[in-house]
Amino acid sequence: MGRNRRSITASYEETIAFGKRFARELKPGSIVCLFGDLGAGKTTLIKGIVEGITGLEPCQVTSPTFTYLHVYAEQSSPPVYHFDLYRLNDPEEFLGLGLEEFLFADGICCIEWSEKIHSILPQNCLRLQLNYEGPDSRSITYC
């Protein structure tokens, strides 16, 4: 998938399938930042990434809204660290909770609301922008 490629998905299932395909481009240490409003499909796409990497079912993946981090670790695959930072106050809170170590660990990070820690994120993050295009339609832009 080249830079600035834009895809349209026409259902929740298609966004999961997109995430599964996208997971093939990831390796331990990859950091994926997902941008987009509430309901844009960030968590849905991460369900696909987690399934692609670990084999876990999409229903086992839920947003860590109150805890900031869910870890999906299965044998014989790298762990996936799923962050939802919607409720984070600032980067200092993230650092104070000791969460920074996961950004530099041997897993794959998927981060919703990474805007909250922009100042401490490494440069080489992969960035996906999701947008609402209609009730069942979402655009996904790799930027």
By the criterion CB under 6 A, which residues form the site for ligand ADP? 9, 11-12, 14-15, 36, 38-44, 112, 136-138
**Strand locations in the chain, DSSP E?**
6-9, 31-35, 69-72, 80-84, 108-112, 126-134, 137-142
Cα–Cα distance for residue pair 53/59, rounded to 1 Å: 15
Cα–Cα distance for residue pair 68/50, rounded to 1 Å: 16
Q: Which of residues 7-36 bind Mg ion (CB under 5 A)?
A: none
Q: Which of residues 52-91 bind Mg ion (CB under 5 A)?
A: 63
DSSP letter at 48 equals H
| 138 interacts with, out of Mg ion, ligand ADP, none, CB within 5 to 8 A per kind | ligand ADP
C-beta contacts of 59-64 below 8 A and 24+ residues apart: 63/112
Task: Considering the complex, state which of residue 29 and residue 139 has its C-beta at the smaller distance from ligand ADP.
Answer: 139
Task: Considering the complex, state which of residue 14 and residue 112 has its C-beta at the smaller distance from Mg ion.
Answer: 112
Q: Report the residue count for the chain.
A: 143
Minimum gap (Å) between residue 76 Cβ and ligand ADP: 27
Among 50, 21, 13, 42, smallest CA distance to 111 is for 42
| 114 interacts with, out of ligand ADP, Mg ion, none, CB within 5 to 8 A per kind | none
| 39 interacts with, out of Mg ion, ligand ADP, none, CB within 5 to 8 A per kind | ligand ADP
User: Which of 9, 15, 43, 54: binder of Mg ion (CB under 5 A)?
Assistant: 43
Minimum gap (Å) between residue 128 Cβ and ligand ADP: 11
